Structure 1
């Protein structure tokens, strides 16, 4: 990612400020699938809303994003809502590749960041029996563009996973899947 992109994300996150803890979009109505213990990875975590939510459910979380401002907002949100020490904040440019090789995770979330080159690393990060939760912008129900997934992209990319829920409409694609 170019420095100006990082600065743009910092500016966006500062303008919005601290958010609120919330589950990833693909889990709405399916929160019972999230384990109450274990490890989670939140890729492109932004202001940390999902990371803090996961930590609040009892998971130890690694939250990764390119924006120091986003990570700072997440850390501030976590001080009020997440048990201390549950979240490790990692500043990394995902355009340079997957930043962590900490083994596998019981839950891997990637919300609103599409990087097909990282799909194999995301799949590899999910522990056997673990949950993969992905939401990206989609061409389905939208005009398309380089940041939007083609129809069926997520299901094809994670073909070895058991699909628990998949939805494509209104410019978004959601995949909720379990690694066998």
Structure 2
């Protein structure tokens, strides 16, 4: 990610405050799938609303983002979370195993094998990307079916695609 991208995210998060903790969209109505303990990883966490939610549920959380402004907003709510400033374009900056991995709207197909490798046996993967399905497309949008193709070897619990987004919930 370029410095201008990081600066764009910092500007977006500046002045927004910490945000309301909550589950990722693909888990709404499926919160019971999240274990009450274990390790969790929130990638491209932004202001950390999902990371804070996971920590409040009793998980040890690593939260990764490129924006120090976003990370500071999350840290203000949950200093117990391990907030990691890293550019995911450089690869996964942590090692598993993780009982829960969440990645919302950050797309880098090169990371897919690393996500599978970091997932604990029986662990929960929750991932969503912007998609060309039901949308005009664009440089950051996944082709239809990308997540099923990448993670279909896991036990898929939920998959949705359309309206410009694809999401998947699966067990390792």
**Per the shorter chain, which TM-score range?**
over 0.9
1:15 Cα deviation after fit: 3.7
Any residues of structure 2 matched to 1:19-98 within 5 Å, and which? 19-78=19-78, 85=80, 87-98=81-92
Partners of 1:149 and 1:17 in 2: CA distance: 30
CA deviation digits over 1:76-112, x for unaligned, max 9? 1225xxxxx2x100000011111112x2000000011
Counterpart position of 1:168: 161
Gaps of 5+ in 2: none
The structural deviation recorded for 1:16 is 2.2
TM-score by length of 1: 0.93
Q: Check the 8 A contact 1:42/1:109 in 2, yes or no.
A: yes
Query: How many residues align structurally?
Result: 172
SS of the residue corresponding to residue 14 of structure 2 reads helix
Q: Which runs of 4+ in 1 moved over 3 A?
A: none
How well do the aligned residues superpose, as a CA RMSD in angstroms?
0.9
Give the structure 1 partner of residue 11 of structure 2.
11
Unaligned runs of 5+ in 1: 80-84
Tell me the equivalent position of 2:111.
118
